């Protein structure tokens, strides 16, 4: 197991290196630079500014410098926010994003699993159709439509929860979390339903029944764990998607999260923030995928990872 | 001769999109304490459905008892609630399934799976259940049972898994053990081991076994009595000798003839022509008549009742009616009958009674 984890961590660094390189050259291939938009300056002064940020040097040199700094954990400084370090900027913004992202994920997956279980156990009844309907709504209506609906009804009409902004502490996180939860809810409920139906018709469930297990025991002791496996597979990308997917939601609810900052950085060509955020997202995704692989082994003993203990 | 289970006029249908499939069309049999009753027949004849209906393991929304009773110790199993049925399953009646590769939960240690019925049905502590589970594993011949309790099904071979399934089935010393083709998915040497094990265990705990199979070799090895099923009905029932050496129903003749034998010199193995009846609209009369070389006109009109051959031997064929013409069975069957004192072709000298 340790051997496996070490090997995986090495691979993770290689992946990260490739992503950082690709992003860097893609950025350089884009037209414009952080200062080009604000270039009312005469060319001579523009050159001074470019020299200050090292933008006048050839691309390979810039690349080498960036990668060296990255290796030291330095993501560079922002162009737009008075030279604030990108690491600090991301960290300051991380809290709200992680809060609404994780709340949305947990809420969505928990309710999704519940709906999926009900649908599978009450197959072809009104319960099943109801859960399917919710899933279809959750998948087909984009989260920003939900966001505005939630804002209108719960925020404006009934005045129950803050409409937007990040001023009322945790209360402010409720609406965006619900808006974010719809996607994972729909995905989880469909996956669990399909898988549960298959698991329930398998031989070992019949055997469990023939032992005298009750319906509840069969669903939760025997079937649930086996039905979880495919959900875990999609859970990783889903989790990463929530953090990135909150770009739009953060904009709508005016939440000072990473997503909002990312969007602004792209608009103003702020290289270092774009690079930094991309790398941050990548690290997040890579780590999640790693965690998912380890989770497999815990849920399904047949996938105990290689090189492990016997 | 204490009857432990009585199945009377059992009729069961499945509701499908195509219509009502009459899977069991009036099945009658008794199970006697301590005996092994084999149910044989081709795929779709209703063997598995009959036993699954005894356990009430068929999907409730699509299957329906149309008629009849299943009496177990005086209780009609068709009328019990789910809760009452759960108390019987695994405790009084338990089951061994066909494919050991898929009948164990892959994400649960086998120890837990064996302990489950013990904890469920008997008021014992976890440590007692654990000890009993280890004993059960030892009983079914698993080496190092202590260590293997913590392992998962994928760490066992097919034969070992079937031993585990048997251990689970025997956990509460059931009065009836239903074995639904327990050796079909195993290779021949393992098959022999599992059959030996089952015979051994039956002697030890004196349980009654219903053994479903389409392997007549296995039947000869394990069964006391045999019921032959065709088209959702039992067509012939008798002791193992009566079925093998004095068969009366043309379908039993066909079954026995299509079994490869070392005695006959025939190059070509016999196969019953045609296909099983469509139980969406079951044929009138004897369901086998259309595939039978020995069908009488009445076979297409009226369902034959059971005719008594001996006290233990009954067959549902018009050929046994006093007015029926004398028909000689196929040669291979006649050869068999010549060895059986009770049959009309007996050539031995041991007298006519058996």
Whether residue B278 has pLDDT greater than 80:
yes
Q: What is the mean pLDDT of residues A43-69?
A: 79
Helix (H, G, I), strand (E, B) or coil at B32: strand
Whether residue A103 has pLDDT greater than 70:
yes
Radius of gyration of chain B, Cα coordinates, nearest whole angstrom = 22
A221: pLDDT confidence band, cut at 50, 70 and 90? confident
CB contact under 8 A, A206 and B89: no
Residues 6+ apart with CB under 8 A from A60: none
Residue-level pLDDT at B14: 92
CB contact under 8 A, A212 and B121: yes
Using a CB-CB cut-off of 8 Å, the residues of chain B touching A211 are: 89-90, 94, 116-117, 120, 168
User: Contact, B148 vs B130, CB < 8 A?
Assistant: no
What CATH superfamily is the domain B1-92+173-353?
A: P-loop containing nucleotide triphosphate hydrolases (3.40.50.300)
Cβ-in-10-Å burial (0-12, 13-18, 19+) of B38 comes to buried
CB contact under 8 A, A214 and B86: yes
What's the rounded Cα separation, in Å, for the pair A208 and A26?
Answer: 56
Using a CB-CB cut-off of 8 Å, the residues of chain A touching B90 are: 210-213
Of A203, A206, A213, the CB nearest to B120: A213
Higher-pLDDT residue of A2 and A245 is A2
Using a CB-CB cut-off of 8 Å, the residues of chain A touching B89 are: 209-212
Neighbours of B130 (CB within 10 A): 19
CA distance A289 to chain B (A): 22
Which residue matches tokens 């469920």? B120
What's the rounded Cα separation, in Å, for the pair B152 and B142?
Answer: 14
CA-closest candidate to residue B171, choices A27, A65, A212? A212
Residue-level pLDDT at B266: 63
Beta bridge partners of B162: none
CB contact under 8 A, B105 and A226: yes
What's the rounded Cα separation, in Å, for the pair B354 and B345?
Answer: 14
Is the minimum CB–CB distance between B129 and chain A shorter than 8 Å?
A: no
CB contact under 8 A, A211 and B168: yes
**Could you report the per-residue pLDDT of A178-192, keeping only the tens digit for each?**
888 888 888 888 888
What's the rounded Cα separation, in Å, for the pair B252 and B123?
Answer: 47
Average model confidence (pLDDT) for chain A? 80
Residues 6+ apart with CB under 8 A from A153: none
Q: Which residue of A has its CA nearest to B104?
A: A204
What's the rounded Cα separation, in Å, for the pair A174 and B154?
Answer: 45
Helix (H, G, I), strand (E, B) or coil at A266: helix
The H or E element containing residue B67 is strand B63-72
Whether residue B352 has pLDDT greater than 80:
no
Domains present along chain A, CATH in parentheses: 94-268 (1.10.3720.10)
Q: Fill in the DSSP letter of residue B328.
A: P
Could you tell me the pTM of the whole model?
Answer: 0.79
Cβ-in-10-Å burial (0-12, 13-18, 19+) of A72 comes to exposed
CA distance A191 to chain B (A): 19
CA distance A116 to chain B (A): 20
What's the rounded Cα separation, in Å, for the pair A16 and B41?
Answer: 63
Region of poorest pLDDT, from A156-165, B12-21, B165-174, B296-305: A156-165
CB contact under 8 A, B86 and A213: yes
Residues 6+ apart with CB under 8 A from B296: B318, B319, B324, B325
What's the rounded Cα separation, in Å, for the pair B87 and B106?
Answer: 25
User: Contact, A227 vs A200, CB < 8 A?
Assistant: no
Using a CB-CB cut-off of 8 Å, the residues of chain B touching A225 are: 107-108
What's the rounded Cα separation, in Å, for the pair A117 and A194?
Answer: 9
Helices (H) and strands (E) in chain A, counts: 12, 0
**Could you report the per-residue pLDDT of B131-183, keeping only the tens digit for each?**
999 998 988 888 899 999 999 999 998 889 988 998 999 888 899 999 988 88
CB contact under 8 A, A211 and B99: no
Question: In chain B, where does DSSP find H-type helix?
Answer: 47-55, 82-88, 110-121, 126-139, 145-148, 158-170, 188-205, 216-222, 240-245, 250-257, 331-337
Largest CA distance in chain B: 68
ipTM: 0.83
Which residue matches tokens 């251990």? B167
Is the minimum CB–CB distance between B86 and chain A shorter than 8 Å?
A: yes
What is the spatial order of strands in the sheet that B307-308 belongs to? B93-96, B176-180, B208-213, B36-40, B225-230, B233-239, B314-315, B307-308
The H or E element containing residue B13 is strand B3-16
User: Contact, B136 vs B171, CB < 8 A?
Assistant: yes
What's the rounded Cα separation, in Å, for the pair A106 and B173?
Answer: 45
Q: What is the mean pLDDT of residues B102-110?
A: 90
Question: In B40-80, where does DSSP find H-type helix?
Answer: 47-55
Whether residue A84 has pLDDT greater than 80:
no
Q: Which residue of B has its CA nearest to A310?
A: B151
- For residue B71 the two structure tokens come to 């009496």
Using a CB-CB cut-off of 8 Å, the residues of chain A touching B91 are: 212
CA-closest candidate to residue B279, choices B316, B315, B230, B214? B230
Residue-level pLDDT at B37: 93
Size of interface A-B (CB pairs under 8 A): 74
CA-closest candidate to residue A157, choices A144, A170, A169, A148? A148
Which chain A residues touch B if contact means CB-CB below 8 Å? Answer: 124, 202-204, 206-215, 221-222, 225-226, 299-302
Measured over the CA atoms of residue B290, residue B292, residue B295 and residue B298, the dihedral's sign is negative
**Could you report the per-residue pLDDT of B192-224, keeping only the tens digit for each?**
888 888 888 888 888 899 999 888 888 888 899
Residues 6+ apart with CB under 8 A from A219: A117, A121, A196, A200
What's the rounded Cα separation, in Å, for the pair A61 and A223?
Answer: 57
Structural domain spans, chain B: 1-92+173-353, 106-171
Of B55, B82, B121, the CB nearest to A210: B55
- Cα dist from B319 to A116, B100, B235, B295, B296, whole Å: 57, 42, 12, 8, 8
A293: pLDDT confidence band, cut at 50, 70 and 90? confident
């Amino acid at each position: 197991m340790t051997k496996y984890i070490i090997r995986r961590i090495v691979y993770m660094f290689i992946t990260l290196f490739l992503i950082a390189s690709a992003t860097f050259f893609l950025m350089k291939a884009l037209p414009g630079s952080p200062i080009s938009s604000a270039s009312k300056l005469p060319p001579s002064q523009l050159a001074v500014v470019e020299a200050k940020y090292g933008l006048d040097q050839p691309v390979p040199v810039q690349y080498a410098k960036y990668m060296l700094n990255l290796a030291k954990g330095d993501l560079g400084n922002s162009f737009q926010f008075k030279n604030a370090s990108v690491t600090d900027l991301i960290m300051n913004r991380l809290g709200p994003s992680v809060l609404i992202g994780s709340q949305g994920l947990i809420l969505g997956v928990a309710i999704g699993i519940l709906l999926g279980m009900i649908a599978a156990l009450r197959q072809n009844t009104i319960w099943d159709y109801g859960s399917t309907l919710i899933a279809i709504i959750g998948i087909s209506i984009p989260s920003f439509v939900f966001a505005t609906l939630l804002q209108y009804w719960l925020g404006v009409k009934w005045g129950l929860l803050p409409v937007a902004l990040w001023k009322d502490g945790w209360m402010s996180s409720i609406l965006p979390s619900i808006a974010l939860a719809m996607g994972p809810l729909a995905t989880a409920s469909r996956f669990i339903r399909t898988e549960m139906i298959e698991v329930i018709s398998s031989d070992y469930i019949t055997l469990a029944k023939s032992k005298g297990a009750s319906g509840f025991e069969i669903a939760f002791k025997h079937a649930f764990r086996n039905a979880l496996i495919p959900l875990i597979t999609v859970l990783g990308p889903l989790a990463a998607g929530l953090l990135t997917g909150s770009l739009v939601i953060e904009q709508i609810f005016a939440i000072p999260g990473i997503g909002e900052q990312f969007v602004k950085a792209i608009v103003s060509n702020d290289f270092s923030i774009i690079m930094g955020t991309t790398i941050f997202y990548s690290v997040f995704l890579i780590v999640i995928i790693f965690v998912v692989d380890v989770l497999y082994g815990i849920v399904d003993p047949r996938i105990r990872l290689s090189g492990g203990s016997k | 001769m204490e009857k432990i289970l009585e199945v009377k006029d059992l009729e069961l249908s499945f509701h499908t999109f195509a219509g009502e499939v009459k899977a069991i069309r009036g099945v009658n049999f008794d199970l006697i304490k301590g005996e092994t009753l084999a149910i044989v027949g081709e795929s779709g004849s209703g063997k598995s459905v009959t036993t699954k209906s005894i356990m009430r393991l068929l999907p409730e929304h699509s299957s329906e008892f149309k008629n009849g009773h299943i009496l177990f110790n005086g209780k009609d199993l068709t009328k019990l609630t789910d809760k009452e049925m759960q108390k019987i399953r695994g405790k009084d009646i338990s089951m061994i399934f066909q494919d050991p590769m898929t009948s164990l939960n892959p994400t649960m240690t086998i120890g837990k799976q064996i302990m489950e019925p013990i904890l469920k049905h008997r008021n014992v502590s976890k440590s007692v259940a654990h000890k009993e589970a280890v004993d059960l594993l030892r009983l079914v011949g698993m080496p190092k049972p202590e260590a293997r309790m913590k392992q998962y099904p994928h760490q066992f071979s097919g034969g070992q898994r079937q031993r585990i399934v048997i251990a689970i089935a025997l956990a509460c010393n059931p009065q009836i053990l239903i074995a639904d083709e327990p050796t079909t998915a195993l290779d021949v040497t393992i098959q022999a081991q599992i059959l030996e094990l089952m015979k051994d265990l039956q002697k030890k705990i004196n349980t009654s076994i219903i053994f479903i199979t389409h392997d007549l070799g296995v039947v000869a090895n394990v069964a006391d009595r045999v019921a032959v099923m065709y088209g959702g009905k039992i067509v012939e029932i008798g002791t193992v000798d009566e079925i093998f050496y004095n068969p009366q129903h043309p379908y039993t003749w066909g079954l026995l003839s299509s079994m490869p034998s070392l005695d006959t010199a025939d190059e070509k193995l016999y196969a019953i022509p045609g296909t099983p009846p469509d139980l969406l609209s079951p044929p009138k009369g004897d369901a086998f008549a259309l595939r039978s070389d020995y069908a009488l006109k009445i076979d297409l009109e009226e369902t034959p009742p059971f005719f008594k051959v001996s006290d233990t031997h009954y067959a549902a064929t018009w050929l046994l009616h006093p007015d029926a013409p004398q028909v000689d069975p196929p040669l291979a069957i006649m050869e068999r009958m010549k060895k059986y004192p009770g049959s009309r072709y007996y050539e031995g000298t041991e007298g006519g009674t058996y």
